[in-house]
Amino acid sequence: MTNAQPSAQSDSHTDFLVIGAGSAGCVIARRLLDAGHTVRVVEAGGQDTNPDIDDVSRLGLLWGSPEDWNYFTEPEPELNNRKVHIPRGKVLGGSHALNATIWVRGDSWDYDSWAEQGCTGWSWDEVLPYYQAIEAYGDGDPHIRGQEGPLDITTDYPRHPIQASLYDATLQEGIPENKDYNDGSVEGVGWMQLNIRDGRRFNTWRAYLKPVADHPNLGLVTGAQARRLLIDSGTVTGAEFDTQGQTVTYTADEVVLSSGAIGSPELLLRSGVGPADHLREVGIEVELDHPGVGQNLHDHLLAPVVCTTQEQLPPQEVAVAQVHYWAKTSDDQPVPDTQPIFFSVPMYTNTAGMLMEGPEEGFSLLAGIVRPASRGSLTLSGPNPEDPVQIRLGAYTEKSDLEAMLYSLRQCRSIAAQPALQQWGAEELFPGPDVDDSDEALVEYIRNTTTTYHHQVGTCAMGVGEQAVVDPETLRVRGLNGLRVADASIMPQVTSGNTNAPSVLIGEKAAAAITGQEPF
């Protein structure tokens, strides 16, 4: 097989067709190749040649670039009807090419909760060996952390002085230190563990698939956007793609959909798999009435505390985000429900419902909630591929989420005023002195400035019951043969942290389910 751009003709049949070369898709493709299968991987984006991908400190330059799907939500009622930007990776590597490379497994409670909900095989003890097989992290407990896996994880990067001060200020706030938040308990403050090699971004494309890009059993296609699945009498036989103004069809014994929490449900819906009433409403023939497709969308949310400094900050190195912490809003929470993240640059919300601008010099404490109760949906606006998807996060539709963000925002303001930051002459710019500590003032600020943490999940959730889209043990789509979904969309509820590591885990679990070969 060749690794060429697609032609207008249907290419040779393969054992597997993987749609999407992101965090999970690259893992699956590599493991299938290792097991002796023929594999075609089709990615809508192009090669990862943009130098901003390498330099994690320039990740903001990738948002709105050709490597970004550049989605926006519908007007969010609880965000003063603002549309929120949803950047997603459209490039080899997927969103792992656009993110801050933060490696967070989540809390053991997250996985045990999945298992308790009927997701057999997903408890903490069951996923732990998969994580160990993924990781190359030399600083952790070898009984808990992986040391010889393909994906580099490190805290050995140049630490920015303002990040060190933020770390100390968090300790002064009374937050405990957590030397390894990936040991099953996230609570506390820690230095971020990043996917970096030689100072450059290192994602699953570069760790798993790029080293075997010339494999004779691999067909790697870029610049081809999936339009619909081919379904014959309840069996998925391949998919149709648009590329360079032409249509091309690829067939396989089995299709693995790894297009992410937005792309995967979109393709299912465009193929007639989803809530029947919605499909008929937008003019799509129903292949399978699946009420859970596109439902259960949820995301972590952020709200910024932006500070200026009287002292000049050193230039950025490697990563602009290096410190984060987890905290409970109350002692009766089973695990932390907030995860603020610190940036050594001012993070002005570009879709704010207020004027939000200021000097380039400064830093940010982004208040964050990571156990949202609110749920939204992804739907279609019409039957044609050009008709955009409709993304509704449903942000703050549950009052408990707003209360958690209030707690986190107040805590971040308090940290910003701690002595450790006074050596820089730190002054709060946003919310700023005009926003007092009343619930009313802070809630209005939150509604005007909340943005996504970029952790959308849940739109093809695994589990049991009518709303479950995929089977937890096989990741097969219920009611169809020949199709599995493996990406962040299958998470029944979001983990208590950044979602890239769980997405890589999902790739490994999917590959093991297909091949019967565990990576350990």
Residues at the annotated binding site for substrate? 453
SS3 state at 470: strand
Q: Which residues contact 466 (CB under 8 A, 6 or more apart)?
A: 291, 292
- Provide CB contacts within 8 A for 332, sequence distance 6+: none
Please calculate the CA angle 269-46-21 and round it to the nearest 5 degrees.
55
Q: Can you say how many angstroms the Cα of residue 308 is from the centroid of all Cα atoms in its chain?
A: 29
Beta bridge partners of 246: 243
Partners of 302 in the β-ladder: 368, 451
Residue 227: exposure state from Cβ atoms within 10 A (0-12, 13-18, ≥19): middle
> Helices marked H in 271-417 — which ranges?
276-281, 399-416
| Neighbour count for residue 212 (Cβ, 10 Å) | 15
Binding residues for FAD: 91
Residue 435 in tokens: 């926003």
Give CA torsion, residues 312, 316, 317, 318, to 10 deg.
150
Residue of 96, 278, 324, 455 marked catalytic? 455
What is the C-alpha separation between 369 and 403, in angstroms, rounded?
Answer: 10
**Residues annotated in a binding site:** 91, 453
- Torsion, Cα of 344, 298, 241, 480 (10° steps): 150
Our answer to whether residue 454 is catalytic in this structure is: no
Q: 225 - beta bridge partners?
A: 242
| Residues in Cβ contact with 258 at an 8 Å cutoff, skipping those fewer than 6 apart | 18, 19, 20, 21, 22, 24, 25, 28, 264, 485, 486, 487, 507
Place of tokens 């067709």: 17
Residues labelled as active-site residues = 455
